[in-house]
């Protein structure tokens, strides 16, 4: 049962409740979501039958995305300077680590009116066609994009279509573009008091928002967008936006959403929120490993095979509001990273994870990442670059099928294989604090595969797996 404080935190930090609930009283919302929680229903309501599968998708993924990994960047916190120019030298390091897509959190000017904290939320957009002067100039940003492109990397920027800052010029010049209460007063979505809710019943707003999106393609040559709280904006808008953007330049689109129909005409990739929360519960001992099997079955029934699903152990919301991955996953951090990087989908690396980011980054203040010595850079380099070499691990629709492998200790160990053409991967993970002698059934076809971390050769039947341990056996390591 969700109490009122829990409900408010849920609304503010997960941001995935449908916009039709805005006009309901908080008490009714609490009752509604408490009912959902008690009935073990998907927390991320999509408005569709959770068992319904998308029969077709018109989205044609860009070829470079088929074996890509994505990396989230918070420019404010990434360096002491907190600028585009200070970030650019890190691109070569990230490229070597196996990163292909750079996702920049919002780079627009931040509103001052009703600002939260000293520096405000990146998601309070004052001007959709400008860069935050704290980060640098438009030319500085163009230089960042150009440098990434010379390294054969791609850049997407965070886009906030659901709401704007209170001092965005639209508030004064186009008040009819905003949602209002019964007294005609503009409102904030939920308790996000630093922003005003945009009203997509007004089609003039659609045109201006799409014009603003196009600006970044034509002026800076970015490669796409990560769209904030995409479920709160009509699917029809996103469908039109994708069509119009592709006329300018074929784009890559990521939705902060878990809604299957967004994949039909608008988005390449959606969040794997449900799996993320399930994984957190499993490592805490709250749910059994077998729940993963039920999840993968349901996910395959809801989403077309080609729909990219973003898999992660952390991101800016989880880190700042729920805790670092070390707070949530403890000794299982690397085990879970292996899991999210090898199952079907595209792995996300959140900035700082390669340096064991163990603190919650402040959201409204300056709070620079402590990079130390990039303690996990070698770990991520081996893990992420394997995806480039081994076709079995390519993203949904391109990689090999996911197959659970039975062991003698399935309640503690999770094993699976993925095979595509002559590429093979066998992954075995110990979700317990005890060493396990793992006997793997019917796996002779993987005999001779080499683990990417310790160069252990799989003997075809069993292995000794240390507590919280993992093996990623592959025939395409070099």
DSSP 305-336: TT-EEEE-S--HHIIIII--HHHHHGGGHHHH
Average of per-residue pLDDT across 331-356: 98
Q: Is the pLDDT of residue 360 over 50?
A: yes
CB 225 within 8 A of CB 141: no
For 108-119, write each residue's pLDDT tens digit: 999 999 999 999
Query: Global pTM?
Result: 0.89
The pair of three-digit structure tokens given for residue 251, joined into one six-digit string: 């784009």
Output b/e per residue, 289-306; b: 16+ Cβ within 10 A: beebeeebeebeebbbeb
Give residue 30's pLDDT: 32
Give residue 54's pLDDT: 55
Do 302 and 320 have their domain in common?
Answer: yes
Give residue 477's pLDDT: 74
For 238-256, write each residue's pLDDT tens digit: 999 999 999 999 999 999 9
For 170-221, write each residue's pLDDT tens digit: 999 999 999 999 999 999 999 999 999 999 999 999 999 999 999 999 999 9
Q: Is the pLDDT of residue 227 over 60?
A: yes
Average of per-residue pLDDT across 121-126: 98
Do 350 and 376 have their domain in common?
Answer: yes
Instruction: In whole angstroms, give the CA distance from residue 90 to residue 96.
Output: 10
For 84-112, write each residue's pLDDT tens digit: 999 999 999 999 999 999 999 999 999 99
Do 316 and 216 have their domain in common?
Answer: yes
Which CATH number covers residue 425?
2.60.40.1180
Q: Is the pLDDT of residue 58 over 90?
A: no
Residue 49 within any structural domain of the chain: no
Domain range for 448 is: 402-474
Phi/psi of residue 300, nearest 5 degrees: -70, -25
CB 303 within 8 A of CB 309: yes
Do 103 and 207 have their domain in common?
Answer: yes
The tally of domains found in the chain comes to 2
CB 160 within 8 A of CB 125: yes
Which secondary-structure segment (H or E) carries 463?
Answer: strand 462-465
Q: How many CA atoms lie within 13 A of 335 on its CB side?
A: 25
Do 291 and 440 have their domain in common?
Answer: no
Give residue 56's pLDDT: 67
Instruction: In whole angstroms, give the CA distance from residue 474 to residue 390.
Output: 8
Give residue 441's pLDDT: 86
Q: Is the pLDDT of residue 315 over 80?
A: yes
* Domain endpoint, select from 399, 434, 456: 399
Do 283 and 394 have their domain in common?
Answer: yes
* Domain endpoint, select from 340, 366, 399: 399
Give residue 57's pLDDT: 80
Do 293 and 335 have their domain in common?
Answer: yes
* CA–CA distances in Å: residue 423 to residues 213, 344, 401, 426, 452: 39, 15, 12, 11, 14
Output b/e per residue, 467-477; b: 16+ Cβ within 10 A: ebbbbbbbbbb
Q: To the nearest whole number, what is the mean pLDDT of the chain?
A: 90
Give residue 183's pLDDT: 97
Which residue in 46, 187, 149, 168 sits closest to 106, CA to CA?
Answer: 168
Q: Is the pLDDT of residue 25 over 80?
A: no
Give residue 374's pLDDT: 98
Give residue 387's pLDDT: 96
Do 378 and 444 have their domain in common?
Answer: no
Which CATH number covers residue 292?
3.20.20.80
Query: Which of 45-54, 118-127, 180-189, 327-336 shows the lowest per-residue confidence on average (mean pLDDT)?
Result: 45-54
Query: Which of 2-16, 139-153, 225-239, 402-416 shows the lowest per-residue confidence on average (mean pLDDT)?
Result: 2-16
Do 94 and 111 have their domain in common?
Answer: yes
* Domain endpoint, select from 354, 376, 399: 399
Average of per-residue pLDDT across 405-418: 97
For 257-298, write each residue's pLDDT tens digit: 999 999 999 999 999 999 999 999 999 999 999 999 999 999
Residue 209 within any structural domain of the chain: yes
Do 210 and 335 have their domain in common?
Answer: yes
Count of H-run helices and E-run strands, the chain: 16, 17
Residue 332 within any structural domain of the chain: yes
């Amino acid at each position: 049962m969700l109490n009122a404080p829990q409900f408010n935190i849920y609304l503010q930090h997960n941001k995935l409740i449908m916009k039709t609930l805005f006009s309901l009283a908080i008490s009714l919302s609490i009752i509604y979501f408490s009912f959902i929680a008690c009935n073990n229903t998907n927390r991320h309501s999509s408005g569709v039958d959770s068992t319904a599968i998308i029969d077709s998708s018109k989205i044609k993924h860009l070829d470079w995305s088929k074996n890509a990994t994505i990396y989230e960047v918070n420019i404010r916190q990434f360096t002491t300077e907190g600028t585009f120019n200070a970030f650019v030298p890190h691109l070569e390091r990230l490229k070597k680590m196996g990163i292909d897509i750079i996702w920049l959190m919002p780079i627009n000017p931040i509103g001052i009116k009703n600002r939260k904290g000293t520096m405000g939320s990146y998601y309070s957009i004052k001007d959709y066609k400008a860069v935050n002067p704290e980060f640098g100039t438009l030319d500085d940003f163009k230089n960042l994009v150009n440098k990434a492109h010379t390294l054969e990397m791609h850049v997407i920027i965070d886009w906030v279509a659901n709401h704007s800052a209170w001092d965005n010029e639209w508030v004064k010049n186009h008040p009819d573009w905003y949602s209002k209460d019964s007294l005609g007063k503009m409102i904030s979505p939920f308790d996000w008091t630093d922003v005003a809710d945009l009203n997509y019943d007004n089609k003039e707003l659609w045109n201006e928002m799409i014009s603003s999106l196009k600006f970044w393609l034509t002026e800076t040559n970015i490669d796409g967008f990560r769209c904030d709280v995409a479920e709160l904006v009509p699917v029809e808008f996103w469908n039109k936006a994708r069509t119009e953007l592709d006329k300018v330049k074929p784009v890559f689109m990521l939705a902060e959403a878990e809604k299957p129909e967004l994949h039909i005409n608008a988005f390449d990739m959606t969040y794997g929120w449900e799996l993320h929360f399930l994984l957190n519960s499993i490592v805490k001992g709250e749910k059994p490993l077998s729940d993963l099997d039920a999840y993968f079955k349901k996910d395959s029934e809801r989403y077309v095979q080609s729909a990219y699903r973003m898999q992660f152990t952390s991101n800016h919301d989880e880190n700042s509001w729920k805790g670092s991955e070390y707070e949530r996953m403890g000794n299982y951090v690397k085990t879970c990273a292996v899991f999210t990087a090898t199952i079907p989908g595209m792995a996300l690396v959140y900035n700082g994870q390669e340096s064991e980011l163990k603190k919650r980054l402040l959201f409204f203040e300056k709070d620079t990442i402590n990079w130390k010595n990039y303690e996990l850079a070698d770990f991520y380099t081996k893990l992420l670059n394997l995806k480039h070499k081994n076709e079995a691990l390519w993203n949904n629709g391109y990689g090999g099928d996911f197959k659970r492998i039975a062991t003698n200790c399935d309640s503690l160990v999770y094993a699976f294989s993925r095979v595509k053409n002559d590429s093979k991967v066998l992954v075995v993970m110990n979700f317990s604090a005890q060493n396990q002698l793992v006997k793997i059934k019917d796996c002779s076809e993987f005999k001779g595969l080499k683990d990417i971390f310790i160069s252990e050769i799989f003997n075809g039947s069993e292995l000794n797996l240390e507590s919280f341990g993992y093996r990623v056996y592959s025939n395409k390591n070099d």
